[in-house]
Amino acid sequence: MSLPIDTLVELLKGGLLESLYMTIVSTIIAYIIGIPLGIIVFVTDTGGILKNKPVNFIFGVIINMIRSIPFLILLVAMLPVTRAIVGTTIGSSATIVPLVAAAAPFVARMVESSLKEVSPGVIEAAKAMGASPIQIITRVLLPEAKPSLTVGFTIAISTILGYSAMAGFVGGGGLGAIAINYGYYRYKTDIMLITVALLIIIVQIFQTVGMFIANKIDKRTNN
Amino acid sequence: MIKLENVSKEFETRGKKKIDAVNDVSLEINTGEIFGIIGFSGAGKSTLVRCINLLEQPTKGKVFLNDKELTAASAKELRQERRKIGMIFQQFNLLAQKTCIDNITFPLIISGVSKKEAKERAKELLKLVDLEDKAKAYPEQLSGGQKQRVAIARALATKPEVLLCDEATSALDPITTRSILALLKKINEELKVTIVVITHEMRVVEQICDRVAVMSEGVIKEVGTVKDIFLNPKSETARKLILPERDRIPNGKRAGILRLAFDGQSSSEPIISELTLESGAYVNILGANTEDIGGKAYGQMLIELPADNEAVKKIKAFLDKRQIHYEEGGNADVTAD
């Protein structure tokens, strides 16, 4: 090993916690923004319960615009915004701002696609029962889409973890920063491999747990 | 009870071409009856029934429920009125992530009924549809017939005055269809719910409907009692629906037609052979639509009567003796649409 084992463990432990911190906080905030956004895009679409072409168009364009900016560029472009919000552009807390900006539109699309899986017949039945649009959203769309939303969450959190690693290039913290600083700038390939292995393990855990929960809560499967 | 006045529904297709799914339909459905709307696929039946509870907003015309004009109601008023109109569907449309009992309490909860009260009402309804033991089951664990029963219970939860059935039995096998139709009949008789049935199957109309409207290309071709439509179908569509194998019942004068209704007679008895042997008269089978369910015959048969009055008397005597219900008609000249 290129570093004393104790130092290495400390380093990786810190990086791991920072990565998890960035990923989890960003995912939560991205969902707080992305769920309403996804719902708005879904219900205002043609054939939706609150069909509204202009609203649908505007939100659609905003989501697509942010989604088409490569994350690394967004990261740099957002530095002034990050400084204004967090007060600094370095460290894991600062990374959360561009992470949320990149993830929220992505989450919105994931939520939209989960809602699209809800049978239109069930929505029609709720309408026929006299349900209001808000009741359809909270009592039909979201509960019926729960398993699919869970799968989406699993994908989103893994993607955000990947993004957070990229933030290492511009002074963000976490495992990504360790891989870049030690593995790339100092040619310590072993450390880079270990961080990569850790990232793989985390994604595996997210994936396995997420799919397990999604299957468990889905009442369409007999278990 | 329900009145449609010159209702039209126009759809715009992708190429901006306009299609009249429903074209200037006026219809009155009476309180307490089971009213059928029959037609082939694409006739506009489903769109028409959705115009009743305004799931489809008619492009023209007015819709009334008990003299209240639904087409003039605000969104909020309409939601209130919809609680008086239950609806069931071909694909059941149950909430897949909720248990049966939670599906049934759903319309009550969204109308502001307390959870406890809703649960009690749901239990009564589960009893009505014979599924008390399935309260905690999820839709996925039920058969098609059971799902439709839950859907019926759910549709009845808010004590509606009308129940709309959109091809409610089309995804079910003949035996299950019979039992669901029997349940609808029971609901109509015991709970005095007016029922509107949309179907492409004559056997559905024949089993439960009082009156029927025949629909084709967005237009109501004729309205009448089930007996009238069977014995004197005036429109081409009605004739095709009654006797799908035949292009048309022979035009012109004839001695008459008998419609024999089989309602659970043993299917192993050669009724028609016995009829000809006993009466000594020849009969011509114009069409038959019978099913054998568990050794019993259900359905109907149309036979052309001989011109000889004596023979007709003998035929009728035979049918009376065997307790086979029949209706006579068909003397009128048949005209094309």
- pLDDT band per the 50, 70, 90 thresholds, residue B309: confident
What pLDDT is stored for residue B324 in this prediction?
Answer: 83
CB contact under 8 A, A127 and B82: yes
- Least Cα distance to B150 among B182, B173, B180 occurs for B180
Q: What is the DSSP letter of A140?
A: I
Q: How far apart are CA A80 and CA A97, in angstroms?
A: 11
User: What chain A residue is nearest to B110 in terms of C-alpha separation?
Assistant: A131
Q: What is the DSSP letter of B95?
A: -
Where would I find the H helices in chain B?
Answer: 45-52, 75-82, 100-110, 115-128, 144-156, 174-190, 202-208, 226-231, 236-242, 271-279, 309-321
Q: Residue B291: what are its φ and ψ, rounded to 5°?
A: -130, 145
Token pair 């259900």 is found at: B298
pLDDT computed for residue B122 by the predictor: 97
Structural tokens at position A101: 């900006």
pLDDT at res. A83 = 93
Q: Does B85 touch chain A (CB under 8 A)?
A: yes
Is B170 in CB contact (< 8 Å) with chain A?
no
DSSP 3-state helix, strand, coil percentages of chain A (rounded to 5)?
A: 80, 0, 20
Point out the residue among A121, A129, A220 whose CB comes nearest to the CB of B140. A220
Query: Alpha-carbon distance B9 to B20, whole Å?
Result: 6
Q: What is the pLDDT of residue B212?
A: 95
Spell out the domain ranges in chain A.
5-217
Give residue-wise pLDDT tens across range B162-201.
Answer: 999 999 999 999 889 999 999 999 999 999 999 999 999 8
Q: In the CATH hierarchy, which top-level class contains the domain B2-230?
A: alpha beta
Q: Strands B257-266 and B296-304: what pairing?
A: antiparallel
CA distance B122 to B125: 5
Q: What pLDDT score does B235 carry?
A: 87
CA–CA distance, B88 with A156 (Å, rounded to integer): 37
Mean pLDDT of A112-122: 96
**Structure tokens given for A205:** 């855990």
Q: Which CATH architecture has domain A5-217?
A: Orthogonal Bundle (1.10)
Overall average pLDDT of the A31-35 stretch: 97
- The answer on pLDDT for B248 being more than 60 is no
| A12 touches B at CB < 8 Å | no
Categorize the per-residue pLDDT at A2 as very low, low, confident or very high, splitting at 50, 70 and 90: low
Identity of the residue in A121, A130, A131 whose CB atom sits nearest the CB atom of B89: A121
**Over residues A197-206, mean pLDDT:** 94
Percent of chain B with pLDDT over 90: 60
pLDDT of residue B134: 95
B34 in helix, strand or coil? strand
Q: What mean pLDDT, rounded, does chain A reach?
A: 92
Residues of B in contact with A132 (CB under 8 A): 79, 110
Please report the pLDDT score of residue B333 as a whole number.
44
Residue A85: which pLDDT band, with cuts at 50, 70 and 90?
Answer: very high
In the numeric block, which tokens belong to residue A85?
């919000």
Q: What CA–CA distances, in Å, run from B63 to A200, B102, B121, B128, B167?
A: 61, 32, 30, 31, 21
Check CB contact of A134 with chain B, cutoff 8 Å. Answer: no
pLDDT score of B254? 57
Residues 6+ apart with CB under 8 A from A10: none
Is B80 an 8 Å CB contact of chain A? yes
Cβ–Cβ contact A121 with B under 8 A? yes
Residues contacting B279, CB < 8 A, separation 6+? B311, B314, B315, B317, B318
Q: Which comes out higher in pLDDT, residue B264 or B48?
A: B48
Residue B32 pLDDT > 90? yes
What band does B149 get if pLDDT is binned at 50, 70 and 90? Answer: very high
Q: What are φ and ψ of residue A69, in 5° steps?
A: -80, 125
Residue numbers in A near B79 (CB within 8 A): 130-132
Q: What are the structure tokens assigned to B62, written together?
A: 């007015």
Element containing residue B216 per DSSP (H, E): strand B211-216
* pLDDT at res. B218: 93
Is pTM beyond 0.80? Reply is yes
Average pLDDT over residues B226-237: 83
Per-residue model confidence (pLDDT) at position B304: 82
Specify the residue for token string 């008998």. B258
Q: Is B99 helix (H, G, I), strand (E, B) or coil?
A: coil
Among residues A86, A78, A106, the alpha carbon closest in space to that of A167 is found at A78
Q: Where in chain B is the domain with CATH 3.40.50.300?
A: 2-230
Burial class, B252, CB count within 10 angstroms (exposed 0-12 / middle 13-18 / buried 19+) = exposed
pLDDT of B17 higher than 70: yes
What ipTM goes with this model? 0.87
- What pLDDT band is residue A84 in, cutting at 50, 70 and 90? very high
Say how far apart CA A39 and CA A37 lie, in whole Å. Answer: 5
How does pLDDT run across B76-106, given as a tens digit for each residue? 999 999 999 999 999 999 999 999 999 999 9
Is residue B336 very low, low, confident or very high in pLDDT (cuts 50, 70, 90)? very low
Instruction: Provide the 8-state DSSP code for B38.
Output: E
Q: Is 60 exceeded by the pLDDT of residue B253?
A: no
A119 or B251: which leads in pLDDT? A119
Residue B205, both tokens: 């109309």
The residue type found at B234 is K
**Higher pLDDT among residues B333 and B9, named by residue:** B9
How many Å lie between the alpha carbon of A222 and the closest alpha carbon of chain B? 7
Q: Give, in words, the CATH class of B256-329.
A: alpha beta
Residue A128 touches chain B, beta carbons under 8 Å: yes
pLDDT in tens, B123-144: 999 999 999 999 999 999 999 9
Facing residue for A125 by CB, picked from B83, B89, B109: B89
Instruction: Kindly state whether A105 is in contact with chain B, defined as any CB-CB distance less than 8 angstroms.
Output: no
The residue among A129, A142, A217 with the most chain B CBs within 10 A of its CB, best to mutate, is A129
User: Inter-chain contact B83–A130, Cβ cutoff 8 Å?
Assistant: yes
Segment 103-122 of chain B within 8 Å of chain A by CB = 106-107, 109-111
Q: Please tell me the least confidently modeled range out of A29-43, A99-113, A162-176, B215-229.
A: A162-176
Residues 6 or more apart whose Cβ sits within 8 Å of residue B230? B206, B242, B259, B300, B302, B327, B329
Instruction: Give the minimum alpha-carbon distance from B248 to chain A in angstroms, rounded to a whole number.
Output: 37
Please report, as a single letter, which amino acid is at residue B228: D
pLDDT of A32 strictly over 70 = yes
Q: What DSSP character marks residue B134?
A: G
| Cβ-defined contact of A130 to B93 (cutoff 8 Å) | no
Q: Is the pLDDT of residue A122 over 70?
A: yes
Question: What's the confidence (pLDDT) of residue B328?
Answer: 79
Tokens of B325: 């219900």
